Amino acid sequence: MKNVFIETSRVMAFREAAGVVTDTAKGQPGFMVVWGYAGRGKTQCSKEYAVRTPGTIYIRVFEGWTPRAMLAQICHKINGMQPSYAGKAKQIIMEELDRNPKVILMDEADRLSNGNIEHLRDIHDETGTPIVMIGEPSLYGRLTARRRIWERVTRVVEFGPVRTEDVAIFGMKACDLKIMPEASAELVRRCQGSFRLLYHLMVDLERQSRANKVKTITLEMIEALPDRRIAPTPEKEPR
């Protein structure tokens, strides 16, 4: 399978929204929220955007980060320094961003404590830095409940479930396989909206297509695959 990046409608919406927040005048709202269930492609999209967009830094949030840990990591991404104190790290971050503006992508932001979100608000307010928070649905709920954060949100992008057109494009670009419409619909059902699960199903289909020397995926071929989401019935233990 080829390592390809699929240009879905959500990816295009992400880029359009990011363009809006990066053009926002200093001192005006410049937060962006990207949310959706796990496996919907949020991380791959944000990483790809960071690679192709100069002045963008990507940070993956770790569980249990203290303010010092988060701010030191942001500081390290900006200028390679990792100060020992939160206040010092924050000061350096704001000074650096004033001199050299950037866009900060915070992936798995649903892990952030409320205190760390407030630190990000301070950085945005003082420097005008666009901040993109990416996470699961709980992130959206938490931010809407915090008015002084939500009022700064300029754009929201939801990463919905995989669509049949996404399946067809993925099959063609990654595996050189034509997937029939009814087969695409069945793959959507089986992957339950997740690109991650779709990838594993396509690996199985690619293997099957090579064994059968075919280039078109039919509904019958998919029905012949084991359903990865159905747990096997455990055998009874002997008495």
Domain ranges of the chain: 9-158, 164-223
- Token code pair at residue 139: 């992130």
Asked if residue 1 lies in contact with residue 175, where contact means CB atoms within 8 angstroms, the answer is: yes
User: Burial, 52: exposed, middle or buried (Cβ in 10 Å; 0-12, 13-18, 19+)?
Assistant: exposed
Mean pLDDT across the chain: 90
The per-residue pLDDT for range 136-173, each reduced to its tens digit, is 999 999 999 999 999 999 999 999 999 999 999 999 99
pTM here is 0.85
In this predicted structure, what is the pLDDT of residue 4?
Answer: 80
Asked if residue 54 lies in contact with residue 101, where contact means CB atoms within 8 angstroms, the answer is: no
Which residue would you say has higher pLDDT here, 177 or 232? 177
Residue 27: band (very low, low, confident or very high) from pLDDT cuts 50, 70, 90: low
Q: According to the CATH classification, is domain 9-158 in 3.50.50.60? A: no
Q: Which CATH class is domain 164-223?
A: mainly alpha
How many CB atoms are located within 10 Å of the residue 151 CB? 9
The per-residue pLDDT for range 31-72, each reduced to its tens digit, is 999 999 999 999 999 999 999 999 999 999 999 999 999 999
In this predicted structure, what is the pLDDT of residue 231?
Answer: 42
